[in-house]
Amino acid sequence: MQTIAVVDYGMGNLRSVVNALEAVGDKRYRVLLTSDPQQLAEADRVVFPGQGAAGDCMRAIDEYGLRDAIVTAAASRPFLGICMGMQVLIDFSEENQGTDCLGIFKGKVKYFGDGYRDQSGVKLKVPHMGWNRVTQVKSHPLWHSIDDGSRFYFVHSYYLEAQEPSLVAGTTDYGIRFTSVIARDNVFALQCHPEKSADSGLQLLRNFVHWDGKA
């Protein structure tokens, strides 16, 4: 029996993540919602979701005493970051007058901006909310059976500007082309919500559940 730990640090709706993992897993997997660093250390796979603001997320991670457990998991086991759970893996976010994050990867999380427009001057709403395409810019086991350009559900006002091109696994166009998916070694993380992205999202979670953690 394998344990998939979903990190619960009080940030947002984790029920959907647990539901979706249970829907794609089978009897060999146990999905465990946990705030306990020890349980995270023992889990076979770790899912790190997150919603809300970067400052609140970082505060919550430390209040729950989870920083070391998350960093260790991201260095050692199949690890899936979702939404804010991707952004805080980076070293810095512009949100909340600047927030230092976990710094596992180099890059910067930036605001789309007030009065945001595309190149042709069309107003774009912020948050970027709804179904947008993810272009797969490198091959990865988690893309198995997912068409390049498939739509996933997004809701966010800040986006990742990755510093190292080799980190980028997927991009999405919203006024600019931003990094919507990153992958390195045993870590895969997305800005969008696979747990809310119907068949494509469930396929990605299914791929994660069976992934050996090798890129």
Site size for another protein (CB under 8 A): 43
Instruction: Please give the angle made by the CA atoms of 25, 26 and 32, to the nearest 5 degrees.
Output: 60
Which of these, 57, 159, 70, 40, lies nearest to 108 by C-alpha position? Answer: 159
**Least distance in Å: CB of 96 to another protein?**
12
Which of these, 193, 104, 189, 116, lies nearest to 157 by C-alpha position? Answer: 116
Catalytic position from the list 83, 95, 101, 192? 83
Tracing tokens 């070694």 back to the chain, one arrives at 185
DSSP track, 68-134: HHHHHHHTTS-EEEETHHHHTTEEEE-TTT-EE---SEEEEEEE--TT-B-TT--B--SSEEEEEE-
Among 125, 161, 166, 185, binds another protein (CB under 8 A): 125
Tracing tokens 């789309």 back to the chain, one arrives at 112
Under rule CB under 8 A, residue 13 binds another protein: yes
**Least distance in Å: CB of 64 to another protein?**
17
Under rule CB under 8 A, residue 148 binds another protein: no
Closer of 182 and 195 to another protein (Cβ): 195
**Least distance in Å: CB of 42 to another protein?**
26
Judged by DSSP in three states, 164 sits in coil
Residue 193 a catalytic site member: yes
Under rule CB under 8 A, residue 129 binds another protein: yes
Query: Which H helix or E strand runs over 174?
Result: strand 168-174
Under rule CB under 8 A, residue 37 binds another protein: no
Active site residues: 83, 193, 195
- Which residues here bind another protein, judged by CB under 8 A? 12-13, 15-16, 19-20, 23, 51-53, 114, 116, 118, 122-123, 125-133, 147, 149-151, 153-157, 172-174, 195-198, 200-202
